[in-house]
Chain A
Amino acid sequence: MSLLHAVIIFPLLSALCSPYLQRMTIRIHTGWFMLPVPMLIFAYVMGKLQLVQEGDPIQASIPWIASLGISFTVYLDGLSMLFALLISGIGFLVVLYSIYYLDRNKEAVGTFYAYLMLFMGAMLGVVLSDNMIVLYGFWELTSISSFLLIAFWFKREKSKYGALKSMLITVFGGLAMLGGFVLLYVMTGTFSIREIIGNVSAITEHALFVPAMLLVLLGAFTKSAQFPFHIWLPDAMEAPTPVSAYLHSATMVKAGLYLVARLSPVFAGAAGWFWLVSAVGILTLIYGSYRAMKQTDLKAMLAFSTISQLGLIMSLFGLGSAASVYAGSTESLFYVKATMAGIFHMINHAVFKGALFMVVGIVDHETGTRDIRRLGGLMSVMPVTFSIALVGAFSMAGLPPFNGFLSKEMFFTAALNIMEMDVLRMDVFGILFPVIAWVASIFTFIYSMVLVFRTFTGPKTFDKLEKKPHEAPIGMLLPPLVLGSLAVVFGLFPNLVAYTLIEPALAAIHPSVLLPGQQFDASIHFWHGWTTEIFMTIGVICAGTVLYRLHRRVKLLHQPLFSAVSLNRTYDGGISFLNLGSKRITDCYMTGSIRHYLIYIFMFLIISVAVTMGRVSGIRFDFAGFAPMSLYEAVVIFALTVSVIAVPFARTRMMAVILTGTAGYMVTLFFVIFRAPDLALTQMIVETVSVTLFLLCFYHLPKLKKEAETLRFRLPNLIIALGVGMIMTLVALAANSSRSFESISDFFVKESYNLAGGKNIVNVILVDFRGFDTMLEIVVLGIASYGIYALIRLNLDGDEKSATAPGYWESGSKLPINGIRSNDVILRTISKAVIFIILTFSLYLFFSGHHEPGGGFIGGLMMAAAFVLLAMAFGIRTVREVVPVDFRKVSAFGILIALLTGIGSFWFDAPFLSHTFGYHDLPLLGHSELATAMLFDLGVYLTIVGITMTIILAIGRDK
């Protein structure tokens, strides 16, 4: 953990606090608490300026998932620093601006700042992370926070639409980028960007190099709103204006540019990279500026303008990658100028576009509209706002003496330089770049003029507005004022940033183009003499002024060219197609019928097991060595088979239940035959209690109707049932015939007495070796019993009658147990004695369970059986009087004992549920074994009694 890590974590922590701060402080705007966050980060990063400038980057690492090569490594070099300063600097101004923009009484400002700080932390994470997986995580976090901020006014339909659109497109790109990162990892074996850059010569010839490049670029293009993925950005303007200024113009959309710059050392030498980045960039530039010219909404105009400016920077980074093509020669420095122009323009764009967004926010805030057809003449009432807008727009148009002029000149230089390239077919296509750049600059000039003059000059139309316009408060004016001043300062003194920010960033983007002893020439000059660039600028101003005059009259300049085909329609159509299509497909198999789902499950079982058996070698069917069968056993098998087959043919409920019960008792007999005394005991008691249970429910249960279904319904059922039966027979035979590994059972047989001091191996496994399983099992049973209790006692319909069960109970009914009149004298007489015998037997089973058949499960069930007999003979009321305990508490107490036994082993530094045993001389009993497993078994015993009785009593009491 270093201070650099804290830079990322600090905003994230303040995001957590923000909603509470709003609730606790009613009088103070939450924004004031958030203001120090970006300020401190800005100050910290500024403090490192000297270090980074001297080529001494800061790095720190926190190990995370070492086995996957993932660590939280942060790295501050020239490029990261430039972005970190942009994020924190603009962030500070935006927070200040938003304090006046968002009314703390009307808006959920606490949530707003939580999202904003989340974004700030995530964005800092993107630019400071060295590990690509961490970078990806932060990258998606920026998409998510952007989604949340666009949908801040979530009651508006358009906000939700815009938020979803931006989310889908950027997350799609993010996933593609993740794919690219993984491919890079496959090629290099590391997720660290610096290590990949150091190892770049090894991967350029790799087959995965081009796919990785394409995937990474997809991520960058979607995030930076490059054509044709730009469609999300105009809709993102539904966000509050501070958000648009911050995320959708100054920082988040530049994450794509950051990625391109950061990975330039890896990919820049490739022809595909050069062509894609510069061509997509220049296409986006001309398209965005052309569309911006036609907007009537000020924010939409700025959105398209942002798209076009992002394209400009993107194309500059593409052109700059030519330097890597000429790496190692003197020519490379010639092309580095494009990258330099890109970095410089990125700073400038953040400055003037931030100011313009804030100005538009002020206009919107003070007049209630952003439509230029309704605005006009605001100059007289908003002089300060107008001045800032003028500076911003002139800078955007590339007019001297503002900063935009300088970077636009440098852009022209780069575009002209590229014509000199003689490789990558640039000798043919090179001429396109300066031409497109020039035309796009004219468009930019036009919309910049429209933006400022349509809004602030011309006839006053205040009567059409909802509010009476007046100048904004000082707090709202201050941030754009700062940015506007910076536009002038950077314009007049460009070398303020040239050496401090641009040069270190250049060094990070082009680490290998410098020859020894060479240095980047980062100085920027205002005047170069009468060069081609200056004539181009003059041409732009002349043509732009003429066209601006014609703007209102010529349809081509202010109306959409075509409306039939558009990317937005493609997106909308695609989304609804996907929605409808997936719903149709899902409806095909998710029918809501449990029978269908069961069919899928059984089909899957049949197919998967059959295929596995067919493919795995070593499965054989060997009937030798099977146990012999006596006549008696044959009779039991026959009885079982017949009773089971008869179940579906049973005409009455009673018959079906008796047949199932018969099957159950036959299974009990098998347990006896196969030497499983514990199982036989358990099965017998369970079967008995189940029959009782059924009798209790009997009158509530629906009558068994004859299966009136068609053959079409029954035949598939039958086929599937036969399939499952056959597969299971084969599984049983195969398991018997072939052993592919040694059984672990020998361990239990050998160690049962030595380690656990018990002779009944089954019981030892249950309470000692696999005690945790048993523990969880009784918890599950407890939940089932409470579920039953709740089903019966709680009234789902709110019907008063069935909710009064306790009252009915207390009054003492003549009917002791539902449907059964206990007037049988013989039963009553005998059961008095039998109950005590059963109870004693139950205790015996419990105590001897460690060595002889028995134990907690069987003993508990046996005790419950005694109570069931009592209930049948004398009525449930008698049970309550004789055993006045709450059985729900008994089961809870049992689970508690089991749990405490388990926890007790912590005292002796042993793992959960470790048992011990010893032999002691006890009074009365003599030399006896005492084992902690007994205590655990007691818990099981009590739980089983409690659960069974809860179930029986709950059902028996129900009307």
Chain B
Amino acid sequence: MELYMSLAIGVLFTVGVYLVLSKSLLRIILGTSLLTHGVHLLLLTMSRLKTGAAPLLGQKADAYVDPLPQALILTSIVISFGVTSFFFVLAYKAYQNLGTDNMEQLKGDDDE
């Protein structure tokens, strides 16, 4: 399972980075959200998978899965929601005002 997860993480990172490097703002936003998914799964996979019950003490299990990555990921999900929203608005405001979503055209002149 870990092997295949690692490969899936690799795919998420590859496509995420590829999109982030493109010129269209929309692709870049989608790329960042794929990167985020990759990071979350990476964190989760790092703590080894399926080593016990869900981290709820009410379950009275012998072993629980690692709760620490979960806490980190939960924080990250919410933060990335905020960042993605901000990015979205930034992108469409820039598009509204400047009429382009090409990063090369958005970079501005030297005298600015």
Rounded to whole Å, the gap between the CB of B73 and the closest CB of chain A is 6
Q: Which of A422-430, A698-706, A869-877, A914-922 contacts B (4 or more CB under 8 A)?
A: A698-706
Given A682-B78, A766-B74: A725 touches B67 (CB 8 Å cut-off):
no
Given A777-B78, A853-B56: A629 touches B6 (CB 8 Å cut-off):
no
Q: In the complex, are the beta carbons of B89 and A852 less than 8 A apart?
A: no
Which of A704, A743, A744, A944 is close to B78, meaning CB atoms less than 8 Å apart? A944
Which of A657, A678, A735 is close to B70, meaning CB atoms less than 8 Å apart? A678
Q: In the complex, are the beta carbons of B21 and A595 less than 8 A apart?
A: yes
Count residues of A near B (Cβ-Cβ below 8 Å): 104
Q: In the complex, are the beta carbons of A781 and B96 less than 8 A apart?
A: no
Task: Report the separation of the CA atoms of residues A861 and B85 in the bound assembly, to the nearest whole angstrom.
Answer: 14
**Extra inter-chain contacts (4) besides given A653-B26, A702-B100, CB under 8 Å:** A598-B21, A704-B27, A720-B21, A851-B57
Which of A697, A717, A857 is close to B88, meaning CB atoms less than 8 Å apart? A697
Residue in B closest to A737 when the chains form the complex, CB atoms: B2
Give the chain B neighbours of A815 by CB distance below 8 A.
none
Q: In the complex, are the beta carbons of B82 and A717 less than 8 A apart?
A: no
Q: In the complex, are the beta carbons of B13 and A637 less than 8 A apart?
A: no
Rounded to whole Å, the gap between the CB of B84 and the closest CB of chain A is 6
Decide yes or no whether A760 CB sits under 8 A from chain B. Answer: yes
Q: In the complex, are the beta carbons of B74 and A660 less than 8 A apart?
A: no
- CB-defined interface of B87-108 with A at 8 Å, one 1/0 digit per residue? 0111111011100110110011
Q: In the complex, are the beta carbons of A644 and B12 less than 8 A apart?
A: yes
Q: In the complex, are the beta carbons of B78 and A736 less than 8 A apart?
A: no
Q: In the complex, are the beta carbons of B89 and A791 less than 8 A apart?
A: yes
Task: Report the separation of the CA atoms of residues A591 and B17 in the bound assembly, to the nearest whole angstrom.
Answer: 20
Which of B6, B17, B23 is close to A721, meaning CB atoms less than 8 Å apart? B17
| Minimum-distance CB pairs A-B, first 3 | A725-B14, A729-B10, A700-B92
Rounded to whole Å, the gap between the CB of B38 and the closest CB of chain A is 7
Q: Chain B: interface secondary structure?
A: helix
**8 Å CB interface, B27-61 against A:** 27, 30, 33-34, 37-38, 40-42, 44-58
Which of A633, A717, A788, A853 is close to B18, meaning CB atoms less than 8 Å apart? A717
Give the chain A neighbours of B88 by CB distance below 8 A.
693-694, 697, 701, 955
Count residues of B near A (Cβ-Cβ below 8 Å): 85
**17 sample A-B contacts, Cβ–Cβ < 8 Å, listed by A number:** A598-B20, A627-B2, A641-B11, A644-B15, A647-B34, A660-B33, A670-B44, A686-B78, A690-B33, A701-B101, A702-B26, A729-B10, A733-B3, A735-B46, A761-B64, A791-B90, A955-B88
Give the chain B neighbours of A705 by CB distance below 8 A.
24
**8 Å CB interface, A772-800 against B:** 773-774, 777, 780-781, 784-785, 787-788, 791-792, 796-797
Rounded to whole Å, the gap between the CB of A735 and the closest CB of chain B is 4
Decide yes or no whether A593 CB sits under 8 A from chain B. Answer: yes
Q: How many A-B residue pairs have CB under 8 A?
A: 289
Give the chain B neighbours of A656 by CB distance below 8 A.
26-27, 30
Residue in A closest to B91 when the chains form the complex, CB atoms: A701
Given A593-B107, A765-B67: A702 touches B55 (CB 8 Å cut-off):
no
Which of A644, A726, A728, A774 is close to B75, meaning CB atoms less than 8 Å apart? A774
Task: Report the separation of the CA atoms of residues A37 and B20 in the bound assembly, to the nearest whole angstrom.
Answer: 63
Given A629-B1, A674-B65: A955 touches B73 (CB 8 Å cut-off):
no
Q: In the complex, are the beta carbons of B56 and A629 less than 8 A apart?
A: no
Partner-B contacts on A (CB < 8 A): 592-595, 598-599, 602, 623, 626-629, 633-634, 637, 640-641, 644-645, 647-648, 653, 656-657, 660, 663-664, 667, 670-671, 673-679, 682-683, 686, 689-690, 693-694, 697, 700-702, 704-705, 707, 709, 717-718, 720-722, 724-726, 728-729, 731-733, 735-736, 743-745, 748-749, 752-753, 759-762, 765-766, 770, 773-774, 777, 780-781, 784-785, 787-788, 791-792, 796-797, 851-853, 857, 861, 944, 947, 951, 954-955
Residue in A closest to B52 when the chains form the complex, CB atoms: A675
Task: Report the separation of the CA atoms of residues A762 and B67 in the bound assembly, to the nearest whole angstrom.
Answer: 6
Q: In the complex, are the beta carbons of B24 and A677 less than 8 A apart?
A: no
Task: Report the separation of the CA atoms of residues A777 and B82 in the bound assembly, to the nearest whole angstrom.
Answer: 10
Give the chain A neighbours of B97 by CB distance below 8 A.
796-797
Task: Report the separation of the CA atoms of residues A796 and B77 in the bound assembly, to the nearest whole angstrom.
Answer: 30
Rounded to whole Å, the gap between the CB of B43 and the closest CB of chain A is 10
Task: Report the separation of the CA atoms of residues A717 and B23 in the bound assembly, to the nearest whole angstrom.
Answer: 11
Task: Report the separation of the CA atoms of residues A851 and B33 in the bound assembly, to the nearest whole angstrom.
Answer: 30
Residue among B18, B66, B84, B103 with the highest chain A CB neighbour number at 10 A: B18
Task: Report the separation of the CA atoms of residues A785 and B47 in the bound assembly, to the nearest whole angstrom.
Answer: 32
Residue in B closest to A944 when the chains form the complex, CB atoms: B78
Given A627-B2, A660-B30, A725-B14: A785 touches B21 (CB 8 Å cut-off):
no
Task: Report the separation of the CA atoms of residues A954 and B40 in the bound assembly, to the nearest whole angstrom.
Answer: 29
Give the chain B neighbours of A673 by CB distance below 8 A.
50
Which of B38, B67, B81, B100 is close to A686, meaning CB atoms less than 8 Å apart? B81
Q: In the complex, are the beta carbons of B78 and A623 less than 8 A apart?
A: no
Given A704-B24, A857-B78: A594 touches B103 (CB 8 Å cut-off):
yes
Given A674-B50, A704-B24: A641 touches B78 (CB 8 Å cut-off):
no
Task: Report the separation of the CA atoms of residues A592 and B41 in the bound assembly, to the nearest whole angstrom.
Answer: 33
Which of A667, A676, A702, A784 is close to B37, meaning CB atoms less than 8 Å apart? A667
Task: Report the separation of the CA atoms of residues A602 and B8 in the bound assembly, to the nearest whole angstrom.
Answer: 19
Q: In the complex, are the beta carbons of A657 and B30 less than 8 A apart?
A: yes
Residue in B closest to A770 when the chains form the complex, CB atoms: B71
Rounded to whole Å, the gap between the CB of A286 and the closest CB of chain B is 50
Task: Report the separation of the CA atoms of residues A792 and B96 in the bound assembly, to the nearest whole angstrom.
Answer: 11
Give the chain A neighbours of B84 by CB distance below 8 A.
690, 693
Q: In the complex, are the beta carbons of A743 and B24 less than 8 A apart?
A: no
Give the chain A neighbours of B50 by CB distance below 8 A.
627, 673-675
Which of B55, B96, B107 is close to A700, meaning CB atoms less than 8 Å apart? B96
Q: In the complex, are the beta carbons of B56 and A677 less than 8 A apart?
A: yes
Q: In the complex, are the beta carbons of B21 and A748 less than 8 A apart?
A: no
Which of A602, A677, A717 is close to B54, meaning CB atoms less than 8 Å apart? A677
Residue in B closest to A646 when the chains form the complex, CB atoms: B15
Rounded to whole Å, the gap between the CB of B35 and the closest CB of chain A is 9
Rounded to whole Å, the gap between the CB of B1 and the closest CB of chain A is 4
Q: In the complex, are the beta carbons of A947 and B82 less than 8 A apart?
A: yes
Q: In the complex, are the beta carbons of A728 and B56 less than 8 A apart?
A: no
Task: Report the separation of the CA atoms of residues A792 and B38 in the bound assembly, to the nearest whole angstrom.
Answer: 31
Task: Report the separation of the CA atoms of residues A951 and B88 in the bound assembly, to the nearest whole angstrom.
Answer: 11
Task: Report the separation of the CA atoms of residues A384 and B79 in the bound assembly, to the nearest whole angstrom.
Answer: 78
Give the chain A neighbours of B82 by CB distance below 8 A.
780-781, 784-785, 947, 951
Q: In the complex, are the beta carbons of B46 and A602 less than 8 A apart?
A: no
Given A592-B108, A637-B4: A749 touches B78 (CB 8 Å cut-off):
no
Q: In the complex, are the beta carbons of A725 and B1 less than 8 A apart?
A: no
Which of B44, B74, B78, B89 is close to A697, meaning CB atoms less than 8 Å apart? B89
Which of B17, B27, B86 is close to A787, meaning CB atoms less than 8 Å apart? B86
Given A660-B33, A780-B82: A725 touches B17 (CB 8 Å cut-off):
yes
Given A678-B70, A729-B6: A592 touches B107 (CB 8 Å cut-off):
yes
Q: In the complex, are the beta carbons of A599 and B21 less than 8 A apart?
A: yes
